[in-house]
């Protein structure tokens, strides 16, 4: 039994010294425009098979982000067999949201500096910036690499994660190529473009909507709980709960707060593929009403 921790061992608040100015990445802008155009074009090449394939891949890649990138790698909310960790990380890379180290560094920085200048998607800079605008901004390469290394020291011991960080786009583009070869343009547009766009916005809603609309159970913590985002993002919408208990593997703390990501973690535990699952245990003697325990 232990109280809440501020972050995984090895993670720090960020690089020392003032951050340099960011610039807009034209490559990021062009890629987002292209993939959104592909998602719109998907309706002109509609097929039920392509739609079903896109939905299945949405679930697979979405859980790769929520369970793999977020709850395991960023917060160490549970431990798992090495091959499970690497499969989950690979599933997350298919979402083309960056490599696991960069994703984790940005998210840990968000927790250390929530709703302030150090927050990568600070809601104080406006709803558009928190939702998507922040994606287009990049730091100078040397500073960015130092920032990522400093935030993810605990992950840099895994050579596979280091490889996936360097070639994070490879699994996603291979998947896109396979969709095009096996199913044609319709399967590519729905399984690659439409899936990515829907997943991008579901993820980004956690940064924007879940810092703007919803209810707050823990008023001392930032973020809100938003049921719609929780449904779209497999339980990530219980964001106020998450900020209150970031190391908890379960974000939906009440029975009606559906959390499909935690359902997958529970299944992995039952299969003995995961263990040391961190949960919030009610405790009336605690000033916060509970403590974190490893189960």
Per residue in 111-163, pLDDT (tens digit) is 999 998 889 999 999 999 999 999 999 989 899 999 999 999 999 999 999 99
Name the 3-class secondary structure at 137. Answer: strand
- Residues with Cβ within 8 Å of residue 99, at least 6 apart in sequence: 93, 164, 165, 166, 168
Which tokens belong to 236?
């990530």
Name the 3-class secondary structure at 79. Answer: strand
Q: How confident is the model at residue 194 (pLDDT cuts 50, 70, 90)?
A: very high
Q: What confidence tens digit (pLDDT) does each residue in 30-70 have? A: 999 999 999 999 999 999 999 999 999 999 999 999 999 99
Element (H, E) at 24: strand 23-24
Q: Which of 42, 113, 67 is nearest to 235 (CA)?
A: 67
Report the alpha-carbon distance of residue 67 to residue 69 in Å, rounded. Answer: 6
Q: What confidence tens digit (pLDDT) does each residue in 219-235 have? A: 999 999 999 999 999 99
Average pLDDT, the chain: 93
* Cα atoms in the Cβ-side hemisphere of radius 13 Å centred on 120: 24
Residue 15, pLDDT above cutoff 70: no
pLDDT of amino acid 56 = 98
Q: What confidence tens digit (pLDDT) does each residue in 251-265 have? A: 999 999 999 999 999
Which tokens belong to 142?
């040397």
Burial class (CB in 10 A: 0-12, 13-18, 19+), 146: middle
Q: Phi/psi of residue 118, each to 5°?
A: -80, -5
b/e 111-128 (16+ beta carbons within 10 angstroms → b): bbebbeeebbbbbeeeee
pLDDT of amino acid 17 = 52
C-alpha dist (Å) from residue 238 to 45, 127, 205, 256, 283: 35, 19, 12, 11, 21
Residue 11, pLDDT above cutoff 70: no
Element (H, E) at 276: none
Which tokens belong to 238?
């219980």
What is the pTM for the complete model shown? 0.93
What residue segments make up the domains of the chain, in order of their start? 23-294
Q: Do 280 and 265 contact (CB within 8 A), yes or no?
A: no
Residue 3, pLDDT above cutoff 60: no
Q: Which of 88, 93, 94, 95 is nearest to 164 (CA)?
A: 93
Cα torsion angle, 205, 210, 213, 215, sign: positive
C-alpha dist (Å) from residue 243 to 149, 238, 259: 23, 9, 15
Range name among 69-78, 79-88, 137-146 with the lowest pLDDT average: 137-146
Neighbours of 106 (CB within 10 A): 20
């Amino acid at each position: 039994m232990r109280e809440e921790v501020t972050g995984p061992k090895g993670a720090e608040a960020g690089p020392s010294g003032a951050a340099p100015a960011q610039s807009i990445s034209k490559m990021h802008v062009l890629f987002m425009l292209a993939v959104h155009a592909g998602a719109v074009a998907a309706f002109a090449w509609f097929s039920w098979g392509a739609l079903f394939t896109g939905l299945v891949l949405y679930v697979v890649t979405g859980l790769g982000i929520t369970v793999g990138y977020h709850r395991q790698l960023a917060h160490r909310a549970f431990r798992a067999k090495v091959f499970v960790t690497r499969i989950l990380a690979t599933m997350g890379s298919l979402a083309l949201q960056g490599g696991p180290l960069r994703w984790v560094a940005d998210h840990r920085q968000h927790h250390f500096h929530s709703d302030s200048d150090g927050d990568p998607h600070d809601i104080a800079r406006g709803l558009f910036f928190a939702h998507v605008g922040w994606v287009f901004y990049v730091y100078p390469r040397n500073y960015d690499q130092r920032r990522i290394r400093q935030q993810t020291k605990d992950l840099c011991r895994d050579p596979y994660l280091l490889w996936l960080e360097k070639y994070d786009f490879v699994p996603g583009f291979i998947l896109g190529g396979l969709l095009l070869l096996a199913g044609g343009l319709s399967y590519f547009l729905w399984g690659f473009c439409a899936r990515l766009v829907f997943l991008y916005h579901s993820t980004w809603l956690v940064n924007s909507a879940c810092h703007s609309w919803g209810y707050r159970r823990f008023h001392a913590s930032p973020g809100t709980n938003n049921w719609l985002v929780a449904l779209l993002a497999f339980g990530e919408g219980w964001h106020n709960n998450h900020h209150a208990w970031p190391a908890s593997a379960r974000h939906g703390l009440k029975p009606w707060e559906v959390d499909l990501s935690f359902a997958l973690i529970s299944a992995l535990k039952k299969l003995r593929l995961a263990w040391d699952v961190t949960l919030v245990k009610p405790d009336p003697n605690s000033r916060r009403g509970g403590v974190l325990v490893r189960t």
